[in-house]
Amino acid sequence: MRVAFQGEPGAYSEQAVFNYFGKVETKPCESFDVVFDSVVSDECGQGLIPIENSLAGSIHQNYDLLLRHDLHIVGEYLLRVQHCLITLPGVKKEEIKKVISHPQALGQCAAYLRNLGIKAEAVYDTAGSVKMLKANGEGTTAAIASRRAAELYEMQILEEGIEDNPENYTRFLAISKKAVEPSVEAKTSIVFTLKNQPGSLFKAMSVFALRDIDLTKIESRPLQGKPWEYLFYIDFIGAEHDETVRKALDHLGEYALMLRVLGSYPRYKG
């Protein structure tokens, strides 16, 4: 199987692909749009996209892309993100004057970089920063990326685990043209819109509370073309084919102007 991900070879997303799918062929994509297009066009059987980070929050663009495309969420995976300080072989820490990486990685290592007194410069990708470093050969520049990126580009890891907060996880979603029907404990993701009137969101949430359905996430996104109206994305425990969940979704349909199930999939246990 071929799996699409956003980023350069060696990116955290590619590591998540191998951890989740095992030994598969990967397709690096320059943007999340290309990941979705690769699955829609059957160029790839599945894609793996980040949807939220435990420190930085949700990746809103991917919520919008899930709604825009007729694809199904078929799995989830949590990756522990460990940043490495990477240089050309033979470079010493005291020689470093500048570090490059994706803005989110730089932000997650901000205190570490301040303590070293190193200037930070944002680039397009974590693994891409290692690729750039190898290409330009600057001995006074370091990159922040994964261990796999350092190994892939034959670079030196000066220090590992340099993130300021060790509780740094990214949640990924596997997307496919074909839905799955999980036989183990499941999670379901939905999106819906409501009338803009008092109590509408309370009524929507009550359909789950009345049936003791555990909500694990709720996210609102602006409804494009309708200022100050919103889409609501919800994750909850249970599968679409479960009787209790079916009744809850039927009940929600009485209030929702639009309701779409994005997928029921096995819940990640770690």
Residues identified as active-site: 170, 172
Distance CA 179, CA 181 (A): 7
C-alpha R_g of the chain: 21
Distance CA 160, CA 36 (A): 32
Distance CA 79, CA 68 (A): 26
Tokens of 93: 């820490």
- Three-class DSSP category at 64: helix
Residues contacting residue 130 through CB under 8 Å, at least 6 positions apart? 10, 86, 143, 145, 149, 150, 152, 153, 155
The enclosing H or E element of 20 equals helix 12-21
Bridge-based pairing state of the strands 141-145 and 98-101: parallel
Cβ–Cβ under 8 Å, residues 231 and 191 = yes
